[in-house]
A and B are shown apart, each in its own frame.
Chain A
Amino acid sequence: MGRTLKKTASKAPDAATSSNQPGLKSLERRRILQDWAFISPQLFLFVMLTLVPFLFAIPILFTDMANFTDPSVNNVGWANFTAIFDNPSVAADYFPALKRTLIFVGLNYTTVYIFGLSLALLMFEFGVRRGFFTIIYMPLMLSGLAVGYLAVMLFAQQTGSMNLFLLDIGLISKPFDIFSANGTRWILPAMVGWRYAGFNMAIFLVGLLAIPTDTIEASIVDGASYWQRLTRVYFPQMWPSFIIATTMALIGAFSVFDELVAMGALYVNPEAKLLSILFFTYGFQIDRLALGMTLAVITSVPLIIVGVLLLRLQRRLQY
Chain B
Amino acid sequence: MTNETETAEPTQAGKHRTPSYRRKRKIYAGIAVAVMIIYSLLTLIPFYVLGVRSTVPTKESTTLHLWIPEADEVNLDAQVGNLAVFYDLDLADFKEAIGIPPTVFLSARTSLRDISEEYDIPEAEIRSFFSGFYTYNGWRTILGDEQFYGALGRTLLITVVSLVGLTILSVFTGYGLAGLRRRDQRIVYSTYLLQMVIPAMLILLPQFLVIQWITNLIPGFSDPGMTRVVTQLASIVAINVKGTAFSVLIFTAFINGIPRELEESAMIDGASRMQYVWRILMPLIKAPIVALVVVQLPLIYNQFLEPFVYLDPRNSTLLPYIQSTVGVYSTNFQVIYAAILASIIPLMIVYTVFRKMFVKGALAGAVKG
Contact B196 A119 (CB under 8 A): no
Assess A132 versus B40: contact at CB under 8 Å? Given A8-B274, A57-B206: yes
Contact B347 A141 (CB under 8 A): yes
Contact A50 B5 (CB under 8 A): no
- The answer to whether B50 has its CB under 8 Å from any CB of chain A is yes
- The answer to whether B29 has its CB under 8 Å from any CB of chain A is yes
Instruction: Point out the residue from B169, B175, B365 that lies within 8 Å of A202, measured CB to CB.
Output: B365
- The answer to whether A78 has its CB under 8 Å from any CB of chain B is no
A-B contacts counted at CB < 8 A amount to 304
Contact A307 B196 (CB under 8 A): yes
- A292 partner residues in chain B, CB cutoff 8 A: 205
- A310 partner residues in chain B, CB cutoff 8 A: 197
Chain A, range 276-311, C-beta contacts under 8 Å to B: 276, 279-280, 283-284, 289, 292-293, 296-297, 299-300, 303-304, 307-308, 310-311
Chain B, range 1-50, C-beta contacts under 8 Å to A: 1, 4-6, 8-9, 12-16, 28-29, 32-33, 35-36, 39-40, 42-44, 46-47, 49-50
Contact B337 A276 (CB under 8 A): no
Contact A38 B173 (CB under 8 A): yes
Chain B, range 189-203, C-beta contacts under 8 Å to A: 191-203
| Whole-angstrom distance between the Cβ of A236 and the nearest chain B Cβ | 6
Of A83-91, A179-187, A252-260, which stretch is located at the interface? Answer: A252-260
Chain B, range 325-366, C-beta contacts under 8 Å to A: 326, 333, 336-337, 340, 343-344, 347-348, 351, 355-356, 358-359, 362-363, 365-366
Contact B209 A53 (CB under 8 A): yes
Assess A202 versus B197: contact at CB under 8 Å? Given A42-B241, A122-B32: no
Instruction: Point out the residue from B32, B50, B170 that lies within 8 Å of A125, measured CB to CB.
Output: B32
- The answer to whether B108 has its CB under 8 Å from any CB of chain A is no
- A52 partner residues in chain B, CB cutoff 8 A: 210
Contact B199 A255 (CB under 8 A): yes
Contact A137 B358 (CB under 8 A): yes
Distance in angstroms between the alpha carbons of A280 and B39 in the assembled complex = 35
- A35 partner residues in chain B, CB cutoff 8 A: 176-177, 185
Task: Name the residue on B nearest A163 (C-beta).
Answer: B64
- B206 partner residues in chain A, CB cutoff 8 A: 53-54, 56-57, 293
Contact A297 B202 (CB under 8 A): yes
- The answer to whether B258 has its CB under 8 Å from any CB of chain A is no
Contact A57 B209 (CB under 8 A): yes
| Whole-angstrom distance between the Cβ of A19 and the nearest chain B Cβ | 8
- B16 partner residues in chain A, CB cutoff 8 A: 220-221
Chain B, range 36-74, C-beta contacts under 8 Å to A: 36, 39-40, 42-44, 46-47, 49-50, 52-53, 61-65
Contact A202 B64 (CB under 8 A): no
Task: Give a binary string over A239-279; 1 marks a CB under 8 Å from any B CB, 0 the rest.
Answer: 01000100110010011011001100000000000011001
Contact A134 B304 (CB under 8 A): no
Contact A42 B366 (CB under 8 A): no
Chain A, range 127-169, C-beta contacts under 8 Å to B: 129-130, 132-146, 149-150, 153-154, 158-159, 161-162, 164-165, 168
- A319 partner residues in chain B, CB cutoff 8 A: none
- B184 partner residues in chain A, CB cutoff 8 A: 32, 36
- The answer to whether B256 has its CB under 8 Å from any CB of chain A is no
Contact A68 B208 (CB under 8 A): yes
Task: Name the residue on A nearest B350 (C-beta).
Answer: A141
> How many residues on the B side are at the interface (Cβ–Cβ under 8 A)?
110
- The answer to whether B367 has its CB under 8 Å from any CB of chain A is yes
Contact A46 B202 (CB under 8 A): no
Contact A137 B362 (CB under 8 A): yes
Distance in angstroms between the alpha carbons of A198 and B359 in the assembled complex = 10
- B242 partner residues in chain A, CB cutoff 8 A: 42, 45-46, 48-50
- A34 partner residues in chain B, CB cutoff 8 A: 273
- The answer to whether B188 has its CB under 8 Å from any CB of chain A is yes
> How many residues on the A side are at the interface (Cβ–Cβ under 8 A)?
115
| Whole-angstrom distance between the Cβ of A317 and the nearest chain B Cβ | 12
Contact B348 A303 (CB under 8 A): no
Instruction: Point out the residue from A56, A140, A143, A154 that lies within 8 Å of B343, measured CB to CB.
Output: A143
| Whole-angstrom distance between the Cβ of A187 and the nearest chain B Cβ | 12
- B197 partner residues in chain A, CB cutoff 8 A: 247, 251, 303-304, 307-308, 310-311
Contact A122 B35 (CB under 8 A): yes
Distance in angstroms between the alpha carbons of A109 and B177 in the assembled complex = 34
Assess A150 versus B176: contact at CB under 8 Å? Given A1-B168, A68-B208, A221-B14: no
Contact B238 A45 (CB under 8 A): yes
Distance in angstroms between the alpha carbons of A254 and B204 in the assembled complex = 13
Assess A311 versus B170: contact at CB under 8 Å? Given A49-B239, A57-B205, A161-B49: no
Contact B359 A203 (CB under 8 A): no
Instruction: Point out the residue from B203, B243, B356 that lies within 8 Å of A45, measured CB to CB.
Output: B243
Instruction: Point out the residue from B5, B15, B173, B203 that lies within 8 Å of A218, measured CB to CB.
Output: B5
Distance in angstroms between the alpha carbons of A46 and B347 in the assembled complex = 27
- The answer to whether B212 has its CB under 8 Å from any CB of chain A is yes
Contact B243 A48 (CB under 8 A): no
Known pairs A38-B173, A145-B304; list 19 more (Cβ under 8 Å): A8-B273, A12-B273, A36-B184, A46-B242, A68-B209, A129-B36, A130-B355, A133-B359, A135-B43, A138-B43, A138-B351, A141-B351, A223-B15, A228-B4, A254-B199, A257-B304, A304-B198, A307-B197, A310-B197
Q: Chain B residues in contact with chain A, CB under 8 A? A: 1, 4-6, 8-9, 12-16, 28-29, 32-33, 35-36, 39-40, 42-44, 46-47, 49-50, 52-53, 61-65, 165, 168-170, 172-173, 175-177, 182, 184-185, 188, 191-214, 238-239, 241-243, 270, 272-275, 277, 298, 301-302, 304-305, 309, 319, 322-323, 326, 333, 336-337, 340, 343-344, 347-348, 351, 355-356, 358-359, 362-363, 365-367, 369
20 A/B residue pairs, CB under 8 Å, sorted by A: A34-B273, A36-B176, A38-B172, A39-B172, A41-B169, A42-B243, A53-B207, A126-B29, A143-B344, A144-B302, A198-B362, A202-B362, A220-B16, A258-B302, A262-B323, A276-B201, A304-B197, A304-B199, A310-B197, A311-B197
